[in-house]
A = this chain, B = another copy of it.
Amino acid sequence: MAQTGNNGFRHSTSLVVLDPIVRKPATMTQQFASDNYAGTCPEAWAAMQQANAGSVAAYGEDEWTTRAANAFRTLFGTDCEVFFAFNGTAANSLALAALCQSYNSVICSSCAHVETDECGAPEFFSNGSKLLAARNNSAKLTPDVIHALATCRGDIHYPKPRAVTITQPTETGELYTLAEIQAISTTCRSLGLRLHMDGARFANACAALGCSPADMTWKAGVDVLCFGGTKNGMAVGEAIVFFDKTLAEGFDYRCKQAGQLASKMRFLSAPWVGMLESGAWLKNAAHANGCARQLERAIAQVPGITLMFPVQANAVFVQGPEGFLDRLRAKGWRFYTFIGGGARFMFAWDAQPEQVDALAADIRAACA
């Protein structure tokens, strides 16, 4: 089968015995390998179903798209520009390409998804903008780190820094405080840099910090946000939100040229209406965060267990004694180990608390 990668469990036996399509397929035990293992939440689904009715103008000239864009404006309390893309790789890359020329560079953490998991997409979309990855052994950037990277070179033999990207929450499940974001944006302003936020799990950050989307973004100096819908409970789709509207000039053309303009746009935009108008975006995130804290509480004191990062959003990274990971896998759990070699558990809107308990029990057993 094409288009599958080797992410560590490629060669496992079939997970799902598919019944004929008239019946419900048997599903695997709930897994927390990633929040994109989850399906579509009811609110997004219902909106998509409603949107399915009748003839609707294509390419975003429909009322669902208008309504979704307006829902973002209401959510952020400002007249931002909103675009819809298919996935996070494209959303991030397009946003950065809008900030940069090919000879510019983007400052990021060495853990940043744009650096580690997008297969060179930022360089591809921008036609060569180089990522300058910090070496501070943290998924979080700081003003000092940014300043150092932005000023270490000033000659034309090195790409000119033009943007900073931060992931909120980070790929390690950590959070920037509002003060930290503000300090970063102040540094950016002083250096002539634009600030991009990769919000693949933006809702989780809002739920965790209990602050408004506005506080976390434009009020703290963020220029453009990629707001993740997929991991928040949608089937597909991310939103790119420009708070500095001048940066959005031509972005509709940019999306089209890059293969990111949906013809039946309503199916990308209506789920956002369902998520934002119902409050599901925040409810889903809060639930996922709660499951992470549930697991943290259940295993924090287990002898031999190390929590690799503070549990601040919907992720828990766990290291255990020798053989720990293999014993967990033997019990049927699936997880990624690409950050620091520990097991990553990432909770979604549909995580079942009893399954979290089952995982905790298996973790304890695997440490014994």
Contacts and interface: CB of A to CB of B under 8 A. Distances in A.
Which of A15, A154, A254, A257: most chain B Cβ within 10 A? A257
B3 A250 contact: no
A104 B102 CA distance: 15
A120 B124 contact: no
A323 interface: no
Interface stretch (A81-89, A167-175, A300-308, A311-319): A81-89
A156 B119 contact: yes
A63 B259 contact: no
Interface string A59-79: 111111111011000000000
A105 interface: yes
A103 B53 CA distance: 33
A253 B160 contact: yes
Q: Could you tell me the dominant secondary structure of chain A's interface residues? A: loop
Nearest to A249: B101
Stoichiometry, copies per complex? 4
Contacts of A273: 21
Interface stretch (A37-45, A214-222, A289-297): A37-45
A5 B155 contact: yes
Interface residues of A, number: 122
Interface centre among A5, A102, A119 (most CB of B within 10 A): A119
Interface stretch (A27-35, A142-150, A176-184, A205-213): A27-35
A157 B119 contact: yes
Contacts of A81: 2
Interface string A235-259: 1100000000000101111111111
Interface in A187-208: none
A22 B112 CA distance: 39
B253 A156 contact: yes
A118 B258 CA distance: 9
Given A250-B103, A259-B87, A33 B57 contact: yes
A298 interface: no
Given A102-B254, A127-B102, A21 B47 contact: yes
Contact of A128 (B9, B54, B123): B123
In order of increasing CB-CB distance, the 8 nearest A-B pairs are: A27-B54, A90-B259, A124-B128, A5-B156, A103-B253, A127-B127, A5-B155, A36-B263
17 contacts: A3-B83, A3-B84, A7-B157, A9-B57, A18-B64, A21-B273, A21-B277, A34-B58, A37-B56, A39-B52, A57-B334, A59-B156, A103-B256, A119-B257, A120-B128, A231-B263, A235-B264
Given A37-B56, A127-B127, 20 more contacts: A1-B60, A2-B83, A3-B60, A3-B156, A3-B265, A5-B155, A7-B61, A18-B63, A18-B64, A27-B56, A28-B55, A29-B55, A45-B52, A59-B157, A87-B259, A123-B129, A156-B261, A160-B253, A235-B264, A236-B268
